[in-house]
Amino acid sequence: MSANQSVFIMLSDTGSLFTNLIKKYTKAPYNHASISFDPELKEMYSFGRKHPKNPLYGGFVKEDILTGTYSRFKETTCVIYKLTVSDRDKHKMKRLLDVFIKKSNKYLYNYLGVLGVSIKEPIEFSNSYFCSQFVAEILSRSGIKLWDKLPAMVTPDDFRNNDRMELIYEGKLFEFEPIKKQLP
């Protein structure tokens, strides 16, 4: 049996116009999902804004809390979960993530997929994801089955309501102790 490892899932709400529009529909407190392999969230990945000032140009992103999109939204609220996985599962996730990193410019944001969730019909394109679909895809393709639905139907709230998620923090992103320590 391999040793247990941790993966971190952060759900967030920046309060931006785009997230407020989504929130009006979902009624969920958080509408963005990201995945990280370190508890300080120094390396965090998702599908979102490629440029902090442009919500319409999206794709695969390595999120930088201190200099990226979050740095523009100082009042961002979040919830951070720890998911315990096997060493082998984490290794598979990192290998999958490496494929995304190496081909990052080939991926697009799946805007229609977000619409698909709202009409309860998966809309999938190759190399195209929305945030929670991407995180669910990484987990699913690594053998971690948290739901009985396609990654294209997974919402940030599905993570929040999953029993395997261990809550480690909820509050303002910039008040999370490991992030506060990184601030200038």
What is the residue whose two structure tokens read 């799946």? 110
The pTM (predicted TM-score) of the whole model is 0.94
pLDDT tens-place values along the chain, 184 residues long? 457 899 999 999 998 877 877 777 778 899 999 999 999 999 999 999 888 777 778 999 999 999 888 999 999 999 999 999 999 999 999 999 999 999 999 999 998 898 888 888 999 999 999 999 999 999 999 999 999 999 999 999 999 999 999 999 999 999 999 998 888 7
pLDDT for position 179: 92
Domain boundaries 4-180, corresponding CATH code: 3.90.1720.10
* Contact by Cβ (8 Å): 64, 82: no
Sign of torsion over alpha carbons 91, 35, 149, 114: negative
Pairing type for strands 128-129 and 108-109 reads: parallel
The CA distance from 36 to 34, in Å, is: 7
Domain ranges for the chain: 4-180
The CA distance from 92 to 97, in Å, is: 9
Instruction: Output b/e per residue, 83-93; b: 16+ Cβ within 10 A.
Output: bebbeebbebb
